[in-house]
């Protein structure tokens, strides 16, 4: 859905982003991660058509952002780090204003405004002045303006910055609910946001892409191991589950974290899920849950940044 190719932005002698390339598929939530000053906001501004690149191209669907800017922008909903809100307008009045700017037709405008407010959970404050809302609600209004024209792509730059823990959880849930039919790029320097929200991550450092992986395989790339969480429903305590699982040739360690819950580490990143399920069924252990575990993204991020260029 989004194709970024050889993107470069220079400000005189300063290179903000250098030959950046990545793709985002239909319905995917991509975490665009990096430390402050890495080039995240510059990249988001170019993708959204807010500023031109020095070199490179961006395609959104069938349209080039530079060659067909109007058509490309119609595909995009953009929430900058500081939402473009007017504090002296009501929520409904502001979204009506934004809908006009985005050429939402009169026939569909009210329905789309109502749907955006419903999706973002702001229907109950529709008549209140934006300036009187909490930061969490203002952020919801910012997301509502980004989706009011029903775009295929959402570009969200630091959408949870400055929010309290409850508001962060609410915005996370909202972002995940907006994916599926839409493609989402979530730019952030907050690692938990990527872990809790995204399916894939691109890490940028000093203007260059240093890693692009799914979250599931990210930890395997760093240390060559896969960890699985296994939860069983069995009553026979005489079953030596640990020993039987450890008998699999590609299992290096098994720990029982609680009764019926196991952390399994494999050798060399081997995928043993199918083999493990067969063992569970054969022994009648009762499979309740089986999923991969990733290492703390903080650790992975620091390793990638510190080893980049070695």
Q: For position 82, which CATH number holds?
A: 3.40.50.300
Report d(CA 283, CA 261) in Å as an integer: 16
Q: Tell me the whole-structure pTM to 2 decimals.
A: 0.72
238 exposed, middle or buried (CB, 10 Å; 0-12, 13-18, 19+)?
exposed
What pLDDT, on the 0 to 100 scale, is given for residue 81? Answer: 87
- Give yes or no: residues 20 and 88 share one domain: yes
Residue 50 lies in a domain: yes
Residues spanned by the domain of 268: 224-297
- Give yes or no: residues 234 and 282 share one domain: yes
- Give yes or no: residues 152 and 136 share one domain: yes
- Give yes or no: residues 135 and 201 share one domain: yes
What pLDDT, on the 0 to 100 scale, is given for residue 310? Answer: 47
- Beta strand pairing call for 208-214 and 76-79: unpaired
Q: Which positions of the chain have pLDDT values less than 70?
A: 216-225, 235-239, 257-258, 269, 293-300, 302-310
Domains: count for the chain: 2
Instruction: Check the CA dihedral 64-65-69-73 and report its sign.
Output: positive
At which of 187, 218, 249 does a domain end? 218
Residue 275 lies in a domain: yes
**Contact between residue 8 and residue 54 where contact means Cβ atoms under 8 Å apart:** yes
What pLDDT, on the 0 to 100 scale, is given for residue 1? Answer: 85
- Give yes or no: residues 24 and 148 share one domain: yes
**Contact between residue 250 and residue 272 where contact means Cβ atoms under 8 Å apart:** yes
Residue 306 lies in a domain: no
Q: What's the mean pLDDT when you consider all of the chain?
A: 87
Nearest Cα residue to 301 out of 215, 243, 240: 215
What pLDDT, on the 0 to 100 scale, is given for residue 166? Answer: 85
What pLDDT, on the 0 to 100 scale, is given for residue 32? Answer: 93
Report d(CA 182, CA 165) in Å as an integer: 26
- Name residues whose C-beta falls within 8 Å of residue 50's C-beta, 6 or more positions apart in sequence: 78, 80
Looking at the DSSP bridge assignments, the partners of residue 208 are 205
Greatest C-alpha distance within the chain: 71
Report d(CA 293, CA 198) in Å as an integer: 15
**Contact between residue 175 and residue 28 where contact means Cβ atoms under 8 Å apart:** no
Task: Tell me the residue length of the chain.
Answer: 310
**Contact between residue 266 and residue 252 where contact means Cβ atoms under 8 Å apart:** yes
What pLDDT, on the 0 to 100 scale, is given for residue 151? Answer: 94
- Give yes or no: residues 166 and 27 share one domain: yes
Residue 56 lies in a domain: yes
Nearest Cα residue to 207 out of 24, 32, 80, 23: 32
**Contact between residue 201 and residue 222 where contact means Cβ atoms under 8 Å apart:** no
- Give yes or no: residues 16 and 126 share one domain: yes
- Give yes or no: residues 13 and 132 share one domain: yes
- Give yes or no: residues 19 and 159 share one domain: yes
């Amino acid at each position: 859905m989004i194709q970024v190719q050889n993107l470069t932005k220079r400000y005189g002698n300063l290179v903000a982003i250098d030959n950046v390339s990545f793709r985002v598929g239909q319905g995917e939530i991509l975490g665009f991660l990096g430390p402050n000053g890495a080039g995240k906001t510059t990249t988001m501004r170019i993708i959204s058509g807010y500023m031109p690149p020095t070199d490179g191209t961006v395609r959104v669907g069938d349209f080039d952002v530079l060659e067909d800017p109007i058509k490309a922008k119609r595909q995009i909903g953009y929430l900058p780090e500081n939402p473009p809100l007017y504090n002296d307008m009501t929520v409904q009045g502001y979204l009506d204003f934004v809908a006009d700017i985005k050429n939402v037709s009169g026939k569909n405008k009210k329905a789309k405004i109502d749907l955006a407010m419903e999706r973002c959970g702001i229907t109950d404050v529709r008549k209140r002045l934006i300036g009187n809302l909490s930061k969490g609600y203002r952020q919801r209004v910012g997301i509502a303006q980004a989706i009011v024209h029903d775009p295929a792509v959402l570009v969200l730059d630091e959408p949870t910055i400055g929010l309290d823990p409850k508001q962060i959880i609410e915005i996370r849930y909202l972002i995940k609910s907006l994916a599926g039919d839409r493609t989402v790029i979530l730019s952030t320097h907050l690692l938990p946001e990527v872990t809790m929200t995204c399916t894939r991550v691109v890490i940028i450092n000093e203007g260059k892409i240093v890693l692009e992986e799914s979250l599931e395989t990210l930890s395997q790339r760093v240390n060559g191991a896969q960890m699985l969480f296994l939860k069983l429903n069995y009553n026979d305590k005489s079953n030596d589950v640990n020993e039987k699982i450890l008998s699999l040739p590609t299992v290096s360690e098994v720990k029982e974290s609680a009764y019926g819950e196991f952390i399994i580490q494999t050798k060399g990143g081997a995928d043993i899920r199918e083999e493990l399920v067969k063992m569970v069924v054969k022994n009648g252990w009762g499979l309740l849950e089986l999923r991969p575990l990733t290492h703390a993204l903080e650790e992975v991020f620091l390793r990638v940044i510190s080893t980049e260029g070695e």
